[in-house]
């Protein structure tokens, strides 16, 4: 288990993290979402020992990550970092050696990964001569070359074209299938929804939602009901007990039902206005969940 537990961090007066915690099981992929400046990068940097947490810790297999165990973590920083003038092959091998591989093993592993990521022919070129997408692959190779036990990737998909996204996704799924817990942050929520076993949404320094996409959806869909009653000309739903009108526009109504509120009573009320063309629990996309979670002024009500 990779556990992020109660992380607190302030930079001066700015409180960036206020108790961030989530767990990633081996072999599962965790999508880390949150608006810009929410604290995703800080969280990952704490895990990598680049930032010191004011409180809380990150554990791998029950033991806090330290300098030695971090060497078993593959890391891709948000700001891509490679030596621009160093050759691709040497560079990847260098990072392998920094992670503890011997010279020969490092060279072999570097070649293997570059080949696998389709960069075999470019291994003798300086990194700066590569396209951005290819540089990104080299970055991934640098993160994977030491056969890490854990992967922590900050915005690995940003700047990639759809084909690059697919091949990176494939590589990450392969790692997860091999039993590596993968944490990555991304703004591409459709991607997160597609790839990740579980998702965490970070807002204002707290995890406002964690769980599988289905769980989150369920939690939301348990409460939001969309009813379209084109003939209604007056507020019709607010009289039903336990119902709050979230929005109403030309008969297209979104209702929030409190626990125990009767959806059939809502349907009866709707039928009293005339035709009912739509009556369904909302199936929010991750984007909507995200918007909801991030926009909510009182995060407690959606916090897991």
Partner 1 sequence: MTAPAPHEPSSASLVRLVAAREVATRIRDKGFIISSVVILLVIVAAVVIQVVTGSGDEESRVGLVGGDGSLVTALEAQGEALDVDVEVVELDDEAAARTAVDDEDVDGALLAGADPELLVRESAGGTLEAIVQGAVGQLAVAEQLTEAGLTGLDVPEVAVTALDADAAADEQRVVAAIFGVVILYSLLILFGQFIAQGVVEEKSSRVVELLLATMRPWQLLAGKILGLGVLALGQIVAIGVVAVVAALAFDIVEVPGDLISTVAIVIAWFVLGYAWYAAVFAVAASLVSRQEDLATVLMPTSMVLIVAFFIGIQAASDPGGLLATVTSLVPGLSPLVMPVRQAAGEVAPWEIALAVVLMVLAIGLVVRLGGRIYSGALLRTGGKIKMREALAADRA
User: Using CB under 8 A as the criterion, which residues of the chain lie in contact with partner 1 when the complex forms?
Assistant: 11, 45, 48-52, 67-68, 70-73, 75, 77, 79-86, 90, 94-95, 97-102, 105, 108-109, 112, 142, 146-147
Q: Which of 224, 223, 143, 221 minimizes the C-alpha distance to 183?
A: 143
8 Å CB contact between 114 and 89:
yes
Q: How far is the CB of 77 from partner 1 (least distance, A)?
A: 4
Q: How far is the CB of 173 from partner 1 (least distance, A)?
A: 17
Return the number of the residue (51 or 196) whose C-beta is nearest partner 1: 51
Q: How far is the CB of 54 from partner 1 (least distance, A)?
A: 9
Q: Which residues contact 116 (CB under 8 A, 6 or more apart)?
A: 171
Give the whole-angstrom CA distance, residue 264 versus residue 7. Answer: 44
Q: Which residues contact 128 (CB under 8 A, 6 or more apart)?
A: 84, 85
Return the number of the residue (100 or 230) whose C-beta is nearest partner 1: 100
Give the whole-angstrom CA distance, residue 202 versus residue 206. Answer: 6
Q: How far is the CB of 65 from partner 1 (least distance, A)?
A: 11
Q: How far is the CB of 147 from partner 1 (least distance, A)?
A: 6
Return the number of the residue (97 or 204) whose C-beta is nearest partner 1: 97
Side by side, the strands of the sheet bearing 150-153 are: 73-76, 150-153, 182-185, 29-34, 198-203, 206-211
Dihedral sign of CA atoms 80, 169, 116, 150 in order? positive
8 Å CB contact between 53 and 8:
yes
Other beta carbons within 10 Å of 21:
17
Return the number of the residue (153 or 216) whose C-beta is nearest partner 1: 153
Q: How far is the CB of 142 from partner 1 (least distance, A)?
A: 7
Sole residue written with tokens 């039928």: 271
Return the number of the residue (50 or 304) whose C-beta is nearest partner 1: 50
Return the number of the residue (73 or 266) whose C-beta is nearest partner 1: 73
Return the number of the residue (61 or 212) whose C-beta is nearest partner 1: 61
8 Å CB contact between 91 and 138:
yes
Give the whole-angstrom CA distance, residue 30 versus residue 50. Answer: 21
Q: How far is the CB of 189 from partner 1 (least distance, A)?
A: 25
């Amino acid at each position: 288990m990779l556990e992020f537990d109660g992380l607190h961090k302030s930079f001066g007066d700015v409180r960036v993290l206020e108790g961030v915690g989530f767990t990633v099981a081996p072999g599962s992929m965790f999508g880390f979402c949150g608006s810009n400046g929410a604290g995703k990068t800080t969280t990952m940097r704490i895990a990598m020992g680049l930032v010191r947490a004011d409180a809380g810790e990150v554990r791998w297999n029950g033991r806090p990550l330290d300098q030695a165990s971090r060497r078993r973590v593959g890391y891709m920083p948000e700001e891509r970092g490679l030596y621009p003038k160093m050759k691709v092959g040497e560079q990847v091998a260098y990072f392998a050696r920094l992670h503890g591989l011997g010279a020969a093993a490092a060279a072999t592993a570097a070649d293997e990964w570059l080949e696998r990521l389709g960069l075999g022919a470019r291994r003798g070129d300086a990194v700066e001569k590569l396209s951005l997408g290819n540089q990104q692959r080299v970055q991934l190779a640098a993160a994977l070359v030491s056969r890490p036990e854990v992967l922590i990737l900050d915005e690995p998909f940003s700047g990639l074209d759809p084909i690059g996204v697919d091949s990176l996704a494939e590589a990450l799924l392969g790692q997860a299938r091999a039993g590596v817990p993968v944490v990555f942050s991304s703004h591409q929520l459709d991607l997160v929804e597609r790839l990740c076993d579980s998702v965490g949404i970070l807002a204002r320094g707290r995890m406002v939602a964690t769980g599988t996409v289905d769980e989150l959806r369920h939690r939301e869909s348990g409460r939001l009901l969309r009813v379209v009653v084109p003939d209604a000309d007056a507020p019709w739903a607010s009289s039903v007990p336990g119902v709050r009108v979230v929005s109403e526009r030309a008969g297209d109504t979104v209702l929030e039902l409190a626990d125990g509120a009767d959806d059939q009573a809502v349907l009866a009320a709707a039928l009293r206005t005339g035709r009912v063309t739509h009556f369904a629990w909302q199936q929010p996309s991750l984007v909507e969940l995200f918007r909801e979670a991030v926009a909510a002024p009182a995060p407690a009500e959606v916090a897991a």
